[in-house]
């Protein structure tokens, strides 16, 4: 078995921190002690000094995520159909509908395929609508959270 020191050397790579320093960081932080991590990040167990906070804030800006363009409800709804299983269900619905046109009207149950076509399509659209509703609720909650901060 490889000792931890050897394993750390294998996982080590160059890393440029946000405040311009280049350090050697092991691939997994959990393999390091707290003191090693704090030293690599240029911090202390009590936190950063006010001067260091001001310097990093001036150098890097505030710790915020950039706002993206808002996505329209139509785009979010159409994005729900970007799944292989949805396309398989749509293909099954179309196949059932097309198969009904080749079945002889004299054959018992010839018109039964059309309700299955409608049922499959309505289930697909209902699933997309429920997903859109969930995404919309989550987006609204995030916007409220952002306002309250």
Q: What is the pTM of this model?
A: 0.51
Residues 26, 32: Cα–Cα separation, whole Å: 8
pLDDT of 145: 85
Please write the tens of the pLDDT for every residue from 67-96: 788 888 899 899 989 999 999 989 988 887
Q: What 3 state SS string does the chain have?
A: CCCHHHHHHHHEEEEECCCCCEEEEECCHHHCCHHHHHHHHCCCCCCCCHHHHHHHHHHHCCCCCCCCCCCCHHHHHHHCCCCHHHHHHHHHHHHHHHHHHHCCCCCCCHHHHHHHHHHHHHHHHHHHHHHHHHHHHHHHHHHHHHHHC
pLDDT at 143: 84
Average pLDDT along the chain: 77
Q: Could you report the per-residue pLDDT of 100-128, keeping only the tens digit for each?
A: 666 656 566 555 556 778 888 899 999 99
pLDDT exceeds cutoff 50 at 19: yes
Please compute the mean of the pLDDT values over residues 44-58 and round it to a whole number. 87
How many Cβ atoms from other residues are within 10 Å of residue 118's Cβ? Answer: 12
With 80 as the cut, is the pLDDT of residue 60 above it?
yes
Of residues 110 and 32, which shows the higher confidence score? 32
> Could you identify the residue written with the tokens 């440029």?
16
What pLDDT, on the 0 to 100 scale, is given for residue 128? 92
């Amino acid at each position: 078995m490889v000792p931890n020191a050897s394993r750390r050397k294998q996982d080590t790579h160059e890393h440029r921190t946000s405040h311009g320093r280049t350090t050697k960081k092991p691939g997994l932080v959990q393999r390091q002690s707290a003191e090693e991590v704090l030293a690599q990040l240029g911090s202390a167990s009590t936190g950063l000094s006010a001067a260091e906070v001001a310097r990093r804030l001036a150098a890097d800006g505030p710790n915020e995520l950039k706002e993206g363009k808002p996505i329209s409800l139509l785009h979010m709804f159409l994005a729900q159909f970007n799944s292989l299983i949805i396309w398989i269900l749509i293909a099954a619905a179309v196949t059932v509908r097309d198969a009904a046109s080749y079945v002889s009207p004299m054959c018992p149950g010839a018109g039964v395929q059309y309700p299955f076509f409608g049922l499959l399509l309505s289930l697909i659209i209902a699933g997309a609508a429920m997903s859109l509703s969930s995404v919309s609720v989550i987006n609204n909650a995030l916007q409220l959270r952002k306002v309250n901060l």
